[in-house]
Amino acid sequence: MAQESRKAHFNVFISATGHHAASSKHTSVNPNGGLDLAHFAKQAQIAERGLLDSLFVADGYAGLSRRFEPFTLFSALAALTKHVGFIATVGTTYNDPYHVARQFASLDHISKGRAAWNIVTGAQSAAHNFGREEHPDVEERYRVGEEFVDVVKQLWDSWEENALVYNKEKDLRLDSSKVYHINFQGQYYKVKGPLNIPRPPQGYPVLVQAGSSEGGKELAARTAEVIFTAQQTLGAAQEFYADVKARLAKFGRTQDQLLVMPGLCPIIGDTEAEARDLEEELFTLLDTKSSLQNLSRFFTVDLSEYRLDAPVPLDKLKPAEGFKIGITSRLDVIIEAAIKDKFTIKQFLSRSAGGHGHITYTGSVLQMADFIEKWFREGGADGFNILPPISPVGLESFVDKVIPELQNRGIFRTAYEGKTLRDNLGFARPDNQHNKLWAANGQTIDVQ
């Protein structure tokens, strides 16, 4: 895509209260928003007003999240919106391909082509909820994940586009010669098929991957169309961007077939002073003792024993193998920023609290637009995964103030490009990869 016609893309990570660690204490926030459909509906409608591409929810199978699971939530929001897409997180380690293929096909039909799958391998904490004593190691999880996605794609492709006929005179609703067994046999899965719901309107829901590990980058280059990532500096973002884009060619893909979207927690004011005031207000709501104890697990010392204006004791960091963390790369990017910008303990704490390890940028509307444009134009991002610090106020500020400025600069749309999420992201609808082969082999089935 020509540089002058290229547009930035924005997803919003919707949440119960916001992405700042102290968001639930802010006076504008409903602390019970995680179980309030109207709360999420408002975020969806704000995002659509701002012409944002999609909504995203994280999900897991352990812990006390106090929020809806994504298929139920997005099915409800699909009925209340027309354009914005829905990115649901679903893990591969503790699910079966057939169920996931069916759920996403259903969501894509319900939303008329606005579904997307954030592919994750799952967290260690979930193992005991599924009768497993141990969580698979990272290499095996990615091997399983790749095969899982292959099965799901083949299930989506088990129906030709025109298999549904709806001939009332002949009482014919399905041309069974256009629906196929997939007869998948791999190292981890054996699936006969076909899926029991027609191919999704988008062909495949958009495939998203989050993570910056070596295995994550390979999975993204092979499979994903959007990658959510976390970098704290433009240099680190440019390095990641170039790395993951360079991997596409070996999988027969071009660079415009993958969008790189770092996380961004925007703390916005009409002036920089207003933004700094909001940042300080949120910091005063933070339980600093608990937060410092949490961060101290990565160090050989207790950070709460240091003054807040003292420099981060980087020489006291534990080696990576000395602790267990779900996303080690997320810690790496914060540490990198702490080294580069010589963070104090307070700055380190504030950055960690702002957006789960994604970059937190505090500034005026113009400064925020400058930041986004610089990363977008200088090879650091194709857009951003927006993590509002407080919800829905933070999202409203971004949509009502920053989006118009980006439109004035010509780097964001002024209308949705099409009807599906693929249309709006600039992706072609994938061809059915397998039905011609199955038909040639006579692998049709009799479905009534």
Write out pLDDT tens, residues 235-247: 989 999 999 999 9
Q: Count Cα atoms within 13 angstroms, Cβ side, for 335.
A: 17
User: Higher pLDDT residue, 350 or 196?
Assistant: 196
What does the block give as tokens for 288?
């600093």
288-302, 329-343, 361-375, 432-446: which has the highest mean pLDDT? 361-375
Cα separation, 413 vs 109, whole angstroms: 25
Exposed e or buried b per residue across 90-115, where buried means at least 16 C-beta atoms within 10 angstroms of its C-beta: bbbbbbebbebbbbbbebbbbbebbb
For the chain, domains (ranges, CATH) are 9-271+359-440 (3.20.20.30)
Write out pLDDT tens, residues 138-189: 788 889 999 999 999 999 999 998 899 888 887 888 998 899 999 999 999 9
Cα separation, 357 vs 22, whole angstroms: 14
The single-letter DSSP state of residue 390 is S
DSSP E strands in 179-258: the ranges are 184-185, 190-191, 206-210, 226-229
Nearest to 146 by CA among 35, 222, 51: 222
pLDDT value of position 121: 84
The DSSP result for 296-320, as a single string, is: HTTBSS-GGGS-TTSBP-GGGBPPG
pLDDT surpassing 80 at residue 401:
yes
Q: Is the peptide bond before 194 cis (omega within 30 degrees of 0)?
A: yes
Q: Are 424 and 288 in contact (CB under 8 A)?
A: no
CA dihedral (318, 284, 265, 107) positive or negative: positive
Q: Are 88 and 116 in contact (CB under 8 A)?
A: yes
Looking at 47-56, 220-229, 370-379, which range is the least confident one?
A: 220-229
What does the block give as tokens for 86?
């829905």
What does the block give as tokens for 79?
């009925």
CA-atom Rg of the chain in angstroms: 23
Q: Are 282 and 266 in contact (CB under 8 A)?
A: no
Q: What is the pTM of this model?
A: 0.90
The DSSP result for 121-184, as a single string, is: ---GGGGGGGT-SSPPPHHHHHHHHHHHHHHHHHHHTTB-TT-EEEETTTTEEE-GGGBB---E
The DSSP result for 386-439, as a single string, is: E--SSTTHHHHHIIIIIHHHHHHTT-S-SS--SSSHHHHHTPPPPPPSSHHHHH
pLDDT surpassing 80 at residue 447:
no
Q: Are 423 and 417 in contact (CB under 8 A)?
A: yes
CA dihedral (298, 301, 302, 305) positive or negative: negative
Q: What does the chain come to in residues?
A: 448
Q: If pLDDT is split at 50, 70 and 90, which confidence band does 323 have?
A: very low
pLDDT surpassing 70 at residue 4:
no
pLDDT surpassing 50 at residue 385:
yes
User: 99: part of which helix (H) or strand (E)?
Assistant: helix 97-110
Place of tokens 């910091």: 283
pLDDT surpassing 70 at residue 303:
yes
Q: Which residues pair with 264 in a beta bridge?
A: 359, 386
pLDDT value of position 130: 80
pLDDT surpassing 80 at residue 37:
yes
Contacts of 114 (CB under 8 A, 6+ apart): 54, 78, 83, 84, 85, 86, 108, 420, 421
CA dihedral (354, 414, 3, 56) positive or negative: positive
Q: Count Cα atoms within 13 angstroms, Cβ side, for 155.
A: 27
Write out pLDDT tens, residues 258-275: 999 999 999 999 999 999
pLDDT surpassing 60 at residue 444:
no
User: Higher pLDDT residue, 291 or 87?
Assistant: 87
Write out pLDDT tens, residues 54-104: 999 988 877 767 789 999 999 999 999 999 999 999 999 889 999 999 999
Helix ranges (H only) for 326-388 are: 328-341, 345-354, 365-377
pLDDT surpassing 70 at residue 2:
no
Q: Judge residue 1's burial from the number of C-beta atoms within 10 Å of its C-beta, 0-12 exposed, 13-18 middle, 19 or more buried.
A: exposed
